[in-house]
Chains A and B, each alone.
Chain A
């Protein structure tokens, strides 16, 4: 199946809308991919990314230790968190079941993509209102570029390894 880019966020919560701003820009690239919005609810995420060679998830992130606009980059497979970083959603995700739960849920049901790339943009302002803060807005273009690169690489790899057609 072709790659999917999943954006999570709320445009009425300032920087929380960054994931949606990114997928909007990605959709305009006209690549042979699926681009969808999701809420972070695990069953829906698992449904979106299962059977994919590559799924990219973009979301707002809050580590508290990095400046706004910092891009956190994680890579997860069916069995390992390959980046050596541990991602927790600590009950702060809007659905107490968060992205980490979605990964565990996907593993329990054998419904993980071959590669799951998670891009989280560090936020500054999550209060009610529209529009991204300057630092976060500046991160949109580089993340879009990063996503385009990931997709180009994956497509090249697929072409060279000649995998079977869509399952």
Chain B
């Protein structure tokens, strides 16, 4: 919806399409100057933090998995790692690998969905994935094939595809059989080829010339592309233990949104997610993924949010390659979990959700109950950066009519794959009697 009154131009996009959840964007233009850009896109998990208090330390992985439908594994992983740290538990390498495998499943599913169903239609001039499917069925089938492999990984390792039930503090309830995972080798190989083809395909799209100047923040691990652990680093010198996360990140209430927006203390806005991960861990990508990036014309650093579609495709290659590596060398662990005993402690964890760094902190009491929980999802960390970019983006495009400007803004917001509010799933019905 748009309104014009003298020199004042207001652009309201009440329901953003093809972003995860519900959201709205509000842009104010006065006399040719963008005066205000507000995103109302995120509901923080405050209800869940309150709900967790008093629960047993075993419960947060299952409860927090409900915060986001698209990335339940990320919530389970951050919860498990933080609680295990609080309780002084370390997992053996075989269980660590299994967790990595589960996380790969979620990356595969989430990235394939975003690239093919949410993002690619923008670049090809289609209004939706449905139109894309009608005209380019084979392409969409390729995306769905990869997504299905991700689903199957989550189903086998996580116990079921939606809100996995097999994850626990200390490991898993059951470890998957060798034969169940062996059956995935061929589908994973095919999907890895599909991912390579995807990189080549999206690398050929046309990208607006646009570069963000935010600080890039991601986990970094000495030996691997980050999923479950590492130090939190940035391209401007941040290098901290995740236990010190809240010493460096501050959340503030903003009046236009339920959201708490995060920023780096005395540094400002920052971006987490694929662009940051890729740019800070390019040297940790497997050769096959790095080669694909080079062939698609991507340098070792990418600051153009529109090109995040290529970065996601490169990360798809990584996740499929990593899953294949783990599956091919898999032998069932000696035990599906290590024993964990409740005791007083505080633990922190950051893991890399498909959309970026997800922070959890738990205080556990002597009786093993949760005294306090803090959860900071990637989208609340990115909100400042997105608003900043949208201000610049709109300023450069004020010559466009409202319809076209709105369309381009929606496309630009989809670059960040924001997770808006995955909290409700209901049908909003309009009934038209025939």
Mark each residue of chain A from 33 to 53: 1 if its CB lies under 8 Å from any CB of chain B, else 0. Answer: 000111111111011000000
- A109 and B137 CA atoms in complex are apart in Å by 7
Asked if A59 contacts B426 (CB within 8 A), the reply is: yes
Asked if B113 contacts A88 (CB within 8 A), the reply is: no
A59-B427 contact, Cβ under 8 Å, with A11-B66, A12-B48 = yes
Q: Say how far B187's CB is from chain A's closest CB, in angstroms.
A: 14
B134 at the interface (CB under 8 A from A): yes
Asked if B431 contacts A92 (CB within 8 A), the reply is: no
- A47 and B432 CA atoms in complex are apart in Å by 28
Q: Say how far A119's CB is from chain B's closest CB, in angstroms.
A: 10
Count class of interface residues, chain A? 35 or more
Chain A, range 44-83, C-beta contacts under 8 Å to B:
44, 46-47, 59-63, 65, 72
A10-B425 contact, Cβ under 8 Å, with A37-B162, A38-B162, A85-B434 = yes
A10-B429 contact, Cβ under 8 Å, with A44-B151, A101-B128, A109-B140 = no
- Return chain B residues, CB-CB under 8 Å to A126: 424, 426
A93 at the interface (CB under 8 A from B): yes
- A84 and B48 CA atoms in complex are apart in Å by 41
B51 at the interface (CB under 8 A from A): yes
- Return chain A residues, CB-CB under 8 Å to B144: 43, 46-47, 109
A3 at the interface (CB under 8 A from B): no
A84-B433 contact, Cβ under 8 Å, with A94-B21, A94-B422 = yes
Mark each residue of chain B from 127 to 158: 1 if its CB lies under 8 Å from any CB of chain A, else 0. Answer: 01110011001001101100110010000000
A16-B140 contact, Cβ under 8 Å, with A43-B113, A85-B434, A128-B47 = no
- A74 and B422 CA atoms in complex are apart in Å by 25
Asked if B130 contacts A88 (CB within 8 A), the reply is: no
Q: Say how far B353's CB is from chain A's closest CB, in angstroms.
A: 16
A135 at the interface (CB under 8 A from B): no
Asked if B129 contacts A9 (CB within 8 A), the reply is: no
- Return chain B residues, CB-CB under 8 Å to A39: 69-70, 162, 422, 425
B355 at the interface (CB under 8 A from A): no
B337 at the interface (CB under 8 A from A): no
- Return chain B residues, CB-CB under 8 Å to A120: 427, 429
A93-B48 contact, Cβ under 8 Å, with A47-B151, A85-B433 = no
- A14 and B336 CA atoms in complex are apart in Å by 34
A43-B117 contact, Cβ under 8 Å, with A12-B66, A94-B423 = yes
Asked if B430 contacts A88 (CB within 8 A), the reply is: yes
- A101 and B147 CA atoms in complex are apart in Å by 18
A87-B433 contact, Cβ under 8 Å, with A42-B129, A108-B137 = no
Give the residue of B16, B163, B424 whose beta carbon is less than 8 angstroms from that of A94.
B424
- A63 and B48 CA atoms in complex are apart in Å by 28
A99 at the interface (CB under 8 A from B): yes
A137 at the interface (CB under 8 A from B): no
- A84 and B397 CA atoms in complex are apart in Å by 44
Looking at chain B's contact residues, the main secondary structure is loop
Asked if B148 contacts A59 (CB within 8 A), the reply is: no
Mark each residue of chain B from 38 to 71: 1 if its CB lies under 8 Å from any CB of chain A, else 0. Answer: 0000000001100100000000000100100110
B398 at the interface (CB under 8 A from A): no
Q: Say how far A143's CB is from chain B's closest CB, in angstroms.
A: 14
Q: Say how far B116's CB is from chain A's closest CB, in angstroms.
A: 8
Give the residue of B118, B140, B423, B430 whose beta carbon is less than 8 angstroms from that of A13.
B423
Mark each residue of chain B from 1 to 29: 1 if its CB lies under 8 Å from any CB of chain A, else 0. Answer: 00000000000000111111110000000
- A138 and B426 CA atoms in complex are apart in Å by 18
B266 at the interface (CB under 8 A from A): no
- Return chain A residues, CB-CB under 8 Å to B428: 61-62, 88-93, 98
Give the residue of A89, A97, A105 whose beta carbon is less than 8 angstroms from that of B18.
A97
B421 at the interface (CB under 8 A from A): yes
- Return chain A residues, CB-CB under 8 Å to B421: 94
A104 at the interface (CB under 8 A from B): yes
Q: Say how far B15's CB is from chain A's closest CB, in angstroms.
A: 4
A95 at the interface (CB under 8 A from B): yes
Q: Which of B15, B19, B69 has the most CB of A within 10 A?
A: B69
- A19 and B434 CA atoms in complex are apart in Å by 27
Give the residue of A92, A109, A123 whose beta carbon is less than 8 angstroms from that of B133.
A109
- Return chain B residues, CB-CB under 8 Å to A72: 429, 431
Beyond A9-B425, A43-B113, A90-B15, list 6 extra A-B contacts (CB 8 Å). Answer: A61-B427, A62-B429, A89-B427, A91-B17, A92-B427, A98-B427
